[in-house]
């Protein structure tokens, strides 16, 4: 099939590359000329395990193309995926749909034969209706259908998630579009992926309901961890004890920092805004958002307690700054709040992240990126394990840290507190 991905970010690039690998002709379009020029030179703009090999292979065999020309790419394609960003609006909780509507206006002048237009971006319920309205102002409704096909990939596992999705949700009541999409996804459904055809509005809501539920699970276990810290109970025992109940399930039950990333924070806010629009009080999700927003300050208070309120000139090392491992995505990472707060209090911050220096911290004169774990931790008074990269899971702290009075705050509970005690390391973790 001839496909076009509009928006070549985490979702558009991964999905486009994987579809080309399944034998389709794919054009990945972006308005960012620098990104497209880099991709044409085989430079991959994001960190995603396994992505580079797939891009190189399919670019070389000619099934994958990159372009800045949206109009021309739409004309050449039968199925068009909209994969642009849907961030939170500057004022309030609602999703900013300007990129979606902009693209819809650009597409409508390039439709002269039947096109299936798909929203892969996460969009609030009824956005598909709006897109249909915008396009039909210039094009006959017979020439296009608007389908919702929300994306569930996880950064860091995106390629695996494409090939082995838990489910494929197709929101349309247009039989022809459904048939085409069933065929497009048949290499995945033939290997066991579940294909669910729903109404367009249901598909849009499924995405927000899923993300809100997962954010709720994380927030629930984080609050349980707060309680555990007061009563001398280990949160890891609680996670295992409740996670083994099949009705609950063990995933997303690891206590840690506030949830972050490009999806949960904005999607929980957007669904609350949708609830308000349709006069429905989503009180559970509202309190999840509040609890999560308080979490970084709460963990910061623990940092102050660990350092006995003496933060000025203390050398604090962050291991990992991205919101989770195996991605370079910094969007809404809790380090964005914690590092500047500590730097403003006079701490000297070093950090190491396997995905490299983060320009967002460059404006602080007392925040330094160091090139490896060893150099980053060697002088530290306090080491904060912020992100659960494998690189941080078996460090010989005793050997590598020169300051013998160093402390560790393990925000991911990677290490065993018993083993740390045996080594006489001053070790603090979450919910313990």
Catalytic residues: 263
Give the one residue of 11, 118, 215, 385 binding ligand NAD; rule: CB under 6 A: 11
151 binds ligand NAD (CB under 6 A): yes
CB of 253 to ligand NAD, least distance (A): 20
299 binds ligand NAD (CB under 6 A): no
Contacts of 294 (CB under 8 A, 6+ apart): none
* Nearer residue to ligand NAD within complex by CB, 151 or 381: 151
- Helices 283-306 & 200-231 angle (0-180, nearest 10): 40
**What Å distances lie between residue 159 and 15, 152, 153, 175, 296, CA to CA?**
8, 11, 8, 29, 31
Give the one residue of 38, 102, 226, 375 binding ligand NAD; rule: CB under 6 A: 102
Could you tell me if 357 and 369 are in contact, meaning their C-beta atoms sit under 8 angstroms apart? yes
Contacts of 333 (CB under 8 A, 6+ apart): 260, 261, 321, 322, 323
Length of the chain measured in residues: 432
Task: Tell me which residues in 155-184 interact with ligand NAD (CB under 6 A).
Answer: 155
CB of 48 to ligand NAD, least distance (A): 10
Residue owning tokens 């039989």: 175
Give the one residue of 23, 32, 114, 290 binding ligand NAD; rule: CB under 6 A: 32
Q: With H, G, I as helix, E, B as strand and everything else as coil, classify residue 393.
A: coil
CB of 166 to ligand NAD, least distance (A): 13
Could you tell me if 349 and 383 are in contact, meaning their C-beta atoms sit under 8 angstroms apart? no
Per DSSP, what are the bridge partners of residue 117?
80, 146
C-alpha–C-alpha distance, residues 298 and 303, integer Å? 9
6 binds ligand NAD (CB under 6 A): yes
Give 6's DSSP letter. E
Could you tell me if 324 and 387 are in contact, meaning their C-beta atoms sit under 8 angstroms apart? yes
Q: With H, G, I as helix, E, B as strand and everything else as coil, classify residue 138.
A: coil
221 binds ligand NAD (CB under 6 A): no
Give the one residue of 99, 149, 239, 268 binding ligand NAD; rule: CB under 6 A: 99
Give the one residue of 83, 170, 289, 385 binding ligand NAD; rule: CB under 6 A: 83
CB of 366 to ligand NAD, least distance (A): 30
Taking every pair of Cα atoms in the chain, the longest distance, rounded to a whole number of angstroms, is: 74
Give the one residue of 20, 73, 104, 121 binding ligand NAD; rule: CB under 6 A: 121
4 binds ligand NAD (CB under 6 A): no
383 binds ligand NAD (CB under 6 A): no
Select from 5-13, 283-291, 341-349, 350-358 the region that touches ligand NAD (CB under 6 A): 5-13
C-alpha–C-alpha distance, residues 339 and 215, integer Å? 23
Residues in contact with ligand NAD, counted by CB under 6 A, come to a total of 27
* Nearer residue to ligand NAD within complex by CB, 326 or 429: 326
Nearest-10 Cα torsion for 115, 195, 26, 200: 40
Give the one residue of 3, 5, 8, 295 binding ligand NAD; rule: CB under 6 A: 8
* DSSP calls for 313-381: T-EEEEE--SSSTT----TT-THHHHHHHHHHTT-EEEEE-TT---GGGTT-TTEEE-SSHHHHHTT-S
CB of 281 to ligand NAD, least distance (A): 24
* Nearer residue to ligand NAD within complex by CB, 121 or 413: 121
Nearest-CB residue for ligand NAD: 9
CB of 156 to ligand NAD, least distance (A): 9
Task: Tell me which residues in 323-362 interact with ligand NAD (CB under 6 A).
Answer: none
* Nearer residue to ligand NAD within complex by CB, 32 or 372: 32
Could you tell me if 318 and 349 are in contact, meaning their C-beta atoms sit under 8 angstroms apart? yes
Give the one residue of 17, 39, 153, 338 binding ligand NAD; rule: CB under 6 A: 153
Separation of first and last alpha carbons in the chain: 54
Give the one residue of 3, 4, 5, 9 binding ligand NAD; rule: CB under 6 A: 9
CB of 246 to ligand NAD, least distance (A): 26
84 binds ligand NAD (CB under 6 A): yes
Name the strand (E) or helix (H) holding 5: strand 2-6
For 428, list phi and psi in degrees, rounded to 5: -125, 140
Binding mask 247-286 for ligand NAD (x = CB under 6 A): ---------------xx-----------------------
Binding mask 60-79 for ligand NAD (x = CB under 6 A): ----------x---------
Which residues are near ligand NAD by CB under 6 A?
6-12, 29-32, 35, 70, 83-86, 99, 102-103, 121-122, 151, 153, 155, 262-263
């Amino acid at each position: 099939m001839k496909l076009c991905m509009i928006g070549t970010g985490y979702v558009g690039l991964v999905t486009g590359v994987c579809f080309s690998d399944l034998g389709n002709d794919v054009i990945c379009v972006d308005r960012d000329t620098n990104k497209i020029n880099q991709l044409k030179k085989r430079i991959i703009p994001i960190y995603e395990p396994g992505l580079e090999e797939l891009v190189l292979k399919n670019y070389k065999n000619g099934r994958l193309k990159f372009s800045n020309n949206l109009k021309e790419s739409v004309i050449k394609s039968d199925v068009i995926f909209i994969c642009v960003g849907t961030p939170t609006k500057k004022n309030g909780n609602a999703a900013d749909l300007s990129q979606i509507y902009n693209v819809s206006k650009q597409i409508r002048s390039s439709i002269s034969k039947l096109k299936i237009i798909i929203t892969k971006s996460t969009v609030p319920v009824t956005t598909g209706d709006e897109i249909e309205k915008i396009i039909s102002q210039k094009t006959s409704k017979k020439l296009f259908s608007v389908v919702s096909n929300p994306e569930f990939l996880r950064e860091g596992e995106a390629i695996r998630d494409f090939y082995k999705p838990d489910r494929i949700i197709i929101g349309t009541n247009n039989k022809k579009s459904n048939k085409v999409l069933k065929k497009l996804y048949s290499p995945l459904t033939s290997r066991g992926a579940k294909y669910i055809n729903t109404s367009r509005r249901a598909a849009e809501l499924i995405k927000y309901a899923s993300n809100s539920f997962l954010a709720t699970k994380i927030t629930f276990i984080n609050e349980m961890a707060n309680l555990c810290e007061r009563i001398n109970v280990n949160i890891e025992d609680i996670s295992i004890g409740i996670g083994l109940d099949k009705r609950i399930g063990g995933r997303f039950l690891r206590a840690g920092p506030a949830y972050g990333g490009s999806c949960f924070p904005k999607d929980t806010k957007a669904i609350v805004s949708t609830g308000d629009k349709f006069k429905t009080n989503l009180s559970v999700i509202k309190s999840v958002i509040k609890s999560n927003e308080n979490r970084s300050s709460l963990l910061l208070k623990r940092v102050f307690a660990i350092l006995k309120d003496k933060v000025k000139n203390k050398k604090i090392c962050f291991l990992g700054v991205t919101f989770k491992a195996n991605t370079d995505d910094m969007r809404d990472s809790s380090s964005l709040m914690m590092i500047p707060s500590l730097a403003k209090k006079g701490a000297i911050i070093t950090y190491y992240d396997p995905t490299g220096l983060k320009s967002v911290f460059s404006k602080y004169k007392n925040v330094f990126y160091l090139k490896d774990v060893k150099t980053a931790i060697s002088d530290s008074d306090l080491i904060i394990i912020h992100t659960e990269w494998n690189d941080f899971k078996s460090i010989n702290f005793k050997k590598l840290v020169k300051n013998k009075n160093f402390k560790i705050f393990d925000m991911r509970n990677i290490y065993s507190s018993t083993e740390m005690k045996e080594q006489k390391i001053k070790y603090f973790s979450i919910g313990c």
